[in-house]
Amino acid sequence: MDPNETKLRLNGSSNGAPNTKIAAGVAEFFSAHPNIRFVRFQWQDLSGLLRGRIIPLEHALAIAAGERTLRVGPVAFQGVVDNSLLPSTDFKGNDVLVTDWTSLRTRQRLDPLYASVMCKVVQHLPYLTQPNWNLCPRRALETVMEKAKHTLHVDFLVGLEVEFEVMKATDEGGYVPYAKSLGNCVVSSYRDPCFAFIEEAVVALMDAGVKIDAFQSEGNRGQYEIALGPLPPVQAVDQLLLVQDTLKHIFARHGLVATMSPRPLPSRRQSSGQHAHISINPPQDEESFLAGMLQRLPQLCAFGLPYEISYERVKPVFAGNMVSWGTEDRTVPIRKVKAGHWEFRSLDATANMYLALAAILSAGILGCVTKEPLVLRDSGIELHSDNKYGEMLPQSIDEALNQLETTFEELENMMESRIIRHYLQVKRYEASLVQNMGTQAARDLLIELF
């Protein structure tokens, strides 16, 4: 193995059963990176937080060989954004981290003692005879991809955009802008002192095998964007989480905070989204796929815009505020780029992107299966049409959850789980907690975490 290669080239995941090919490939990976002593086993919870356990290398090798498993308490998907647990949490049993070794990465330039790997999570409960996959968003997305392949004979690619601002913590516990240079690709922004840290992050990510398409200043002032190359959906989210964590890590080393929170400063004329470029191949059912997304767009907001502050972006230009689409129209929620390729804009970095993509793609697949007609006209072309816009999008997380609660069964059936009803429970409880914090405290918390 090339010692500069930081991505394990294997197919398959480890679920505790012996797999000689996986074990050999993992051992080869670590032999090529002899500095690694620890492995971080990670998953993303339903509040959008990246969580993980760190274990010594010897334990990781035993897991890859099927000789050991890694467990956490039965709380992997019971936490909310303030790190408290749902009142209904059942503390019986345990959650097992099921490793996808194809996601194994190391950032030798940044933290050479560590590697990281993404996991699915399965519940083991003493009163159930079978493991319970109902709460795992990564598993839900995998299931949707398998259905698309077998039902429609299509594949998907997803490219994600990471928008962020750079902040500095104050002695009073709040945050103030650190990067203040002009955005929108103005070259003077690349002379801002913090841009050297962005370059540091991009180099570390490229060394870790991340597909970087471009990076530049964005927005009006003090905002930057990294555009990631397209990958299959699960791998695209794995890559996204590595990018987010790396940005947070590097800026923290310099005493700063890189935040992807959707609206860190209401006084600035900009917001941060996490737009997803979604391609369906082959694109022959593209109109029905688009119709399926549009038909369910208000419900999809509950996944892509999961906090009250997220709805400060539900305005024209920021993310669009009405159900609509348009060819190269950035004022609407879904921009068509070319045949079978759309930019889905009702997303930000507080989302669990495995679940958000599972829901978005499920909506499109349902449109294809039932041959839903594309009713709304193209806002990029039909400038004077009266049929460009549908209903208003939700204006709050409560409104989005209300919309989802009445219609979630069809999406959940696509995922073959009960994840959405649990997600509704988590987000209802979380929304009440965040509301009680007050707007500024909630804003500061999202700056810190996202």
> What is the distance between the alpha carbons of residues 272 and 278, in angstroms, rounded to a whole number?
19
How high does pLDDT run on average in the chain?
A: 93
Structure tokens at 61: 């090798």
Query: Distance (Å, rounded) from C-alpha 319 to C-alpha 305?
Result: 10
Sign for the CA dihedral angle at 78, 83, 88, 93 comes to: positive
At 145, the amino acid letter reads: M
pTM as predicted:
0.94
Say what the pLDDT of residue 2 is: 45
- Residue at token pair 């039909």: 382
Q: Kindly tell me if the per-residue pLDDT of 303 is higher than 80.
A: yes
pLDDT tens for each residue of 77-91: 999 999 999 999 989
Identify any residues that bridge with 7 across adjacent strands, giving them in sequence order: 105
Residue 27 CB partners (closer than 8 Å, separation 6+): 61, 64
- For the segment 24-44, the average pLDDT, to the nearest whole number, is 95
Return the pLDDT at 342: 98
Encode pLDDT of 66-79 as tens digits. Answer: 999 999 999 999 99
Specify the pLDDT at position 3. 40
Residue 283 has pLDDT above 80, yes or no: yes
Whether residue 209 has pLDDT greater than 80: yes
Q: Report yes or no: 150 and 106 within 8 Å, Cβ to Cβ.
A: no
Each residue's pLDDT tens digit, 367-424 = 999 999 999 999 999 888 788 999 999 999 999 999 999 999 999 999 999 999 999 9
| Mean pLDDT, residues 35-42 taken together | 98
Start-to-end Cα distance in the chain:
35
Question: Tell me, what DSSP letter sits at residue 318?
Answer: T
| pLDDT at 433 > cutoff 70 | yes
The CA-CA-CA angle for residues 40, 44, 48, to 5°, reads 135
The amino acid sitting at 338 is K
Domains of the chain with CATH codes: 20-132 (3.10.20.70), 142-449 (3.30.590.10)
pLDDT digits (tens, 9 = 90+) for 318-361: 788 999 999 999 999 999 999 999 999 999 999 999 999 999 99
